[in-house]
Chain A
Amino acid sequence: MVTVELYGVPRLRAGASRVEVPAGTLASILHALASILPGLVPDIVHDGRLTEHALVAVDGREIVADPTLPIADGTVLVLISAAAGG
């Protein structure tokens, strides 16, 4: 399984701060997220892709966007708002 941690607006929209989804590609994970957390659709996740309003970082480090990227079992994905400014 892959753990997805949610912060900022994604957490607010989802009403959850952490969920587990089956490992797969980034696209399959986003599809799974959209079905279990419908509040993320369409502004955060749309058609298996992240919108411009959110970013996802593998273990909080590398920000990834390629939908075909394989995400292995045990990985933690961190889903955040794209607007970082303060």
Chain B
Amino acid sequence: MRGNFGRILLVELRGDRVAVEHVALPEAAYHAFVGGVGLGAYLLWRFAPAGVDPLAPEAPLVYAFSPLLGTPLTTTAKFAVLCKSPLTGRISDGLSSSRFALAAKRLGVDALVIRGALDRLGWLHLDEDPAACRVEPCPAWAGLSAHELSDMAAKQGLFRHVSAIGPAGEAQIRYATISNDGRHAGRGGAGAVLGAKRVKAISVRGAAVAGVADAASVQVRARDLAARSAGAATEKYRALGTAANLETFDRLRILPRRNFQTVSIGQAAARRLAPEGLARAGEHVRDSCAGCTIGCDHRYGGTRIEYETQFALGPLIDVDDPACLLAAAGACDALGLDTISAGGTLAFAMECAERGLVDWPLRFGDDVLPWLRAIARREGAGDLLAEGTRRIAAVIGQGSERFACHVKGLELPGYEPRAMQTFALGLCVACRGADHNRSGAYQADLQAGVDRYRADVARAPARVIEAEDNAALLDSLILCKFLRGAIREPWREGAELLAMVTGVPRGEDDLRRSARRIAAVRHAFNVREGWTLAEDRLPDRFHDEALEDGASLDRADVAAMVDAYHAARGHVPRGGPSERLRRELELDAWLTDAPPLQGPASLG
């Protein structure tokens, strides 16, 4: 099989040392889980001890590569980062683009599984030659942003590509990111897990090549995909970026404002925060991830802005000054904070303060820069805000849980669920918590023939499952989701791409089974870590408070959709995969209860 190396690197940290060991994976694992988030979910299941504290040394952090990574296919220079989330206690899987992804796969492995912890802050260097892997203590790097660290390392000739944490990761903020050459693996707090291992930065060096089975066909397809990626289907991303959503969503009345109290900021404010307004506040430059022919990376005054950041640090906290928004986004980038969770947490804190539940001098519309810095350093009230919305609500109490906008502890993205009721189901059941990326069910609400203000118990579960499975396919191959409009038949094309790259024929149905298996393993992981059906719900605000236009979300309807979703997925009531599903997807071969493999012997 080409495209993969058939082995992973087990990385064990202890004291100020590292030991590494190659572990072979059977070809069947690649067939079953493809790569990226799929392969990573399996490895997380395999290597995380049941019930592990996400910040404990024995909790693994998984970097999973993909078969398409390293090929000339557009948007494939990405990898997945997985862990048990310190924010949710459930599975967390983030994707990140970067040249680091390309460099890391050249270690000659398909995934890194990092366990253990250092005694003090260190730089972990991984090498294709196991004997050259090492740890260098780096106390002087404490407090540096990932960007500062990259600059310094480049000047000193230390390394070119790096996966690193900022101050928030060092302080184990539960929504800290890992930055990879400037792109973040954001949601769920993987940065805190790396911080708990006291790893400031990971550099890599290798020259291994996985190769492709049919290089000529891959070249032809790469040119074809690049041409399609330059067409009308991706024009929004190229020409405007996702920041163009804000004004549209304001008009559709699905733009959450003031901690999901309302859904519009008005036309004038929306225009101020739209790409034209941002360009007045900071010079506009367009960029792209490594190996991408779309280029949706729009920067204003040097700060990368996409819709979720713009929503969370703008309308959600009632900021309508583009300069303030850009400053807050730049600070999150430098500190290493997930922008959605940072904005969501601050919005919740603002509402608590305005209601008099806490005496913090924090109001909607305030400049949040000092608060972001306090969070990243756990100073003053920042220490509690660093814990995320769910934990803050548990401390404050006084009914604040009603408007603590999270699912499973993960703060909500920028789509109003009362006005997008298929997406509301997607939020409830998403394995990593309130999430727009692992399902994208908002697409289902924005199409002709769908009444987005109605919970469609009969049809919504199938729509959400299809969206989740589509996302699992793209996230495992890995192809950027912004390419999806240019791929008419993702299952057929996904199977073709895999066959060209690996040389192993794949059928569409077989690939669909892989996507369902990936969903089943993620759910099984959550069940093992304590998931209950009670988690698959939205906060009371969405049921008890109607929007100005009367839109509301019926509690019983949502519960019925959630039940129907689990039944359609083949889960036993209130539990994991049914016997039938286990047989059908051969889950018992993968979900073994065998203890995780032992660490490398060299650490004793």
Chain B residues with Cβ under 8 A from A43's Cβ?
Answer: 232, 235
* B485 interface neighbour in A5, A7, A83, Cβ under 8 Å: A83
> From B414, which residue of chain A is reached at the shortest CB distance?
A86
* Interface members, chain B 239-287 (any A CB < 8 Å): 239-240, 242, 244-245, 247-248, 251-253
Chain B residues with Cβ under 8 A from A7's Cβ?
Answer: 244, 247-248, 251
| 0/1 interface trace, chain A 20-56, chain B, CB 8 Å (1 if under) | 0000000000000000000000011000000111010
* B242 interface neighbour in A64, A80, A86, Cβ under 8 Å: A86
Chain B residues with Cβ under 8 A from A72's Cβ?
Answer: none
* B236 interface neighbour in A5, A8, A51, A61, Cβ under 8 Å: A8
Chain A residues with Cβ under 8 A from B47's Cβ?
Answer: none
B236→A83 contact, CB < 8 A: yes
Secondary structure call for the B interface: helix
A51→B251 contact, CB < 8 A: no
Chain A residues with Cβ under 8 A from B484's Cβ?
Answer: 85
Closest Cβ–Cβ distance, residue A14 to chain B (whole Å): 13
Chain B residues with Cβ under 8 A from A52's Cβ?
Answer: 233, 485
> From B271, which residue of chain A is reached at the shortest CB distance?
A17
Chain B residues with Cβ under 8 A from A57's Cβ?
Answer: 252
| Distance in angstroms between the alpha carbons of A86 and B443 in the assembled complex | 11
Chain B residues with Cβ under 8 A from A78's Cβ?
Answer: 251-252
Q: Does A74 contact B (CB under 8 A)?
A: no
| Given A8-B240, A85-B482, A86-B414, A60 and B252 contact (CB-CB distance below 8 Å) | yes
Q: Does A19 contact B (CB under 8 A)?
A: no
| Distance in angstroms between the alpha carbons of A83 and B286 in the assembled complex | 19
Closest Cβ–Cβ distance, residue A60 to chain B (whole Å): 5
B481→A85 contact, CB < 8 A: yes
Q: Does B308 contact A (CB under 8 A)?
A: yes
| Given A55-B446, A86-B242, A86-B308, A60 and B253 contact (CB-CB distance below 8 Å) | yes
Closest Cβ–Cβ distance, residue A70 to chain B (whole Å): 16
> From B420, which residue of chain A is reached at the shortest CB distance?
A84
| Distance in angstroms between the alpha carbons of A86 and B414 in the assembled complex | 9
A84→B443 contact, CB < 8 A: yes
> From B237, which residue of chain A is reached at the shortest CB distance?
A83
| Distance in angstroms between the alpha carbons of A46 and B211 in the assembled complex | 43
| Distance in angstroms between the alpha carbons of A43 and B442 in the assembled complex | 23
Chain A residues with Cβ under 8 A from B440's Cβ?
Answer: 85
Q: Does B451 contact A (CB under 8 A)?
A: yes
B252→A81 contact, CB < 8 A: no
B251→A5 contact, CB < 8 A: yes
Q: Does B306 contact A (CB under 8 A)?
A: yes
Chain B residues with Cβ under 8 A from A80's Cβ?
Answer: 248, 251-252
| Distance in angstroms between the alpha carbons of A66 and B449 in the assembled complex | 10
* Interface members, chain B 40-74 (any A CB < 8 Å): none
Q: Does A63 contact B (CB under 8 A)?
A: yes
Chain A residues with Cβ under 8 A from B447's Cβ?
Answer: 55, 63
A63→B236 contact, CB < 8 A: no
Q: Does A9 contact B (CB under 8 A)?
A: yes
A83→B233 contact, CB < 8 A: yes
B448→A86 contact, CB < 8 A: no
* Interface members, chain B 204-246 (any A CB < 8 Å): 232-237, 239-240, 242, 244-245
Chain A residues with Cβ under 8 A from B446's Cβ?
Answer: 55, 63, 82, 84
Q: Does A65 contact B (CB under 8 A)?
A: yes
B232→A55 contact, CB < 8 A: no
* Interface members, chain B 440-492 (any A CB < 8 Å): 440, 442-443, 446-451, 453, 481-482, 484-485
A81→B306 contact, CB < 8 A: no
Q: Does B307 contact A (CB under 8 A)?
A: yes
B240→A86 contact, CB < 8 A: no
| Distance in angstroms between the alpha carbons of A51 and B447 in the assembled complex | 13
| Distance in angstroms between the alpha carbons of A53 and B237 in the assembled complex | 12
> From B238, which residue of chain A is reached at the shortest CB distance?
A9
| Distance in angstroms between the alpha carbons of A63 and B451 in the assembled complex | 8
Closest Cβ–Cβ distance, residue B345 to chain A (whole Å): 20
| Distance in angstroms between the alpha carbons of A15 and B595 in the assembled complex | 62
Most B-side CB within 10 Å, residue of A9, A12, A62, A65? A9
| Distance in angstroms between the alpha carbons of A64 and B442 in the assembled complex | 17
* B240 interface neighbour in A9, A60, A61, Cβ under 8 Å: A9
| Given A8-B240, A86-B308, A63 and B450 contact (CB-CB distance below 8 Å) | yes
B232→A86 contact, CB < 8 A: no
| Distance in angstroms between the alpha carbons of A7 and B250 in the assembled complex | 11
Closest Cβ–Cβ distance, residue B271 to chain A (whole Å): 9
Chain A residues with Cβ under 8 A from B242's Cβ?
Answer: 85-86
B251→A81 contact, CB < 8 A: no
Closest Cβ–Cβ distance, residue B602 to chain A (whole Å): 46
Closest Cβ–Cβ distance, residue A43 to chain B (whole Å): 4
| Given A86-B245, A86-B306, A53 and B252 contact (CB-CB distance below 8 Å) | no
* A9 interface neighbour in B235, B307, B481, Cβ under 8 Å: B235
| Distance in angstroms between the alpha carbons of A8 and B236 in the assembled complex | 7
Chain A residues with Cβ under 8 A from B247's Cβ?
Answer: 7
Closest Cβ–Cβ distance, residue B69 to chain A (whole Å): 22
A64→B448 contact, CB < 8 A: yes
| Distance in angstroms between the alpha carbons of A55 and B446 in the assembled complex | 8
| Distance in angstroms between the alpha carbons of A55 and B248 in the assembled complex | 11
Interface residue ranges, A against B (CB under 8 Å): 5, 7-9, 12, 43-44, 51-53, 55, 57, 60-66, 78, 80-86
Across the A-B interface, give the 6 residue pairs with the lowest CB-CB distance, nearest first: A86-B307, A86-B242, A65-B448, A43-B232, A7-B248, A81-B236
25 contacts between A and B (CB under 8 A): A7-B244, A7-B247, A8-B240, A9-B239, A9-B244, A12-B239, A12-B240, A52-B233, A52-B485, A55-B447, A60-B251, A60-B253, A62-B451, A63-B446, A63-B447, A64-B448, A80-B252, A81-B244, A81-B248, A83-B237, A84-B443, A84-B446, A85-B242, A85-B436, A85-B443
Knowing that A83-B234, A85-B481, A86-B245 touch, tell me 12 more A-B residue pairs with CB under 8 angstroms.
A7-B251, A8-B245, A52-B233, A55-B448, A57-B252, A65-B448, A65-B449, A78-B251, A80-B252, A81-B244, A83-B485, A86-B436
